[in-house]
Amino acid sequence: MSSCTGALLLLNLTGLVMASAAHRNYVSDNMRYAHNYVAHRLNLTKPHIGNDPLFTFIKNNASCLRQHNLSLFNKTLDVYLRMFSIILDDTTTSPLLKPLSGKVQEAVKSNLTELHRKMLELKDLLQGQNPRHHGPRHRSKRENLLSKLDNIQVDDVLNQKKALAELKVFYQAASVCHYHGYVPAADSAHIATAK
């Protein structure tokens, strides 16, 4: 086999591995169950919840390989963690949970605790990552998005519902970027070692 043919074969295999890795589902069965339970009990599938997403940058930037958004993922995780601290506060019943009966409320709270734990684990994973630096055009856009994330009212029940409805999509996007998007382009060794 010629070196040119070998190089083309290697490029094709690398592309296949990267494509399959990007489509891997990082949302565990336990997390999916917890999210589905919460979504059902809190009516997170209603049209008014999903029509205007809270975290639009996830939908608008499907490929973390094109634009690295580590700072946006970390800031969004901060929003989630602030929301969870309000919802799961033991000193008072969250307005989000008040409409639920006692047993259902406890079950939802238990599932929310599991989702909170998964988001904390994701936050720990992303802490060690180094964001890539962008030109001024990307920087101002990112700073605008970061500012919007800072201004989200985390105690607003509708915002809480929207964030919870988007949680699985966010978790998947952040996980894909963590495992496949934050290494120098010349280093393809991460592909073989990714979980």
pLDDT in tens, the chain (195 residues): 554 443 333 334 334 344 444 568 899 999 999 999 999 999 999 988 988 889 877 765 555 544 457 788 889 999 999 999 999 998 999 999 999 999 999 999 999 999 999 999 999 988 766 555 555 556 677 788 888 999 999 999 999 999 999 999 999 988 887 777 653 333 233 333 333
pLDDT score of 63: 53
Residue 185 φ then ψ, to 5°: -55, -35
pLDDT for 166: 95
Per-domain residue ranges for the chain? 3-193
pLDDT in the model for residue 66: 40
Query: In which residue are the tokens 């393809």 written?
Result: 188
Residues in Cβ contact with 27 at an 8 Å cutoff, skipping those fewer than 6 apart: 35, 168, 171, 172, 175
The answer to whether the pTM exceeds 0.85 is no
CA 142, CA 36: separation in Å to the nearest integer? 31
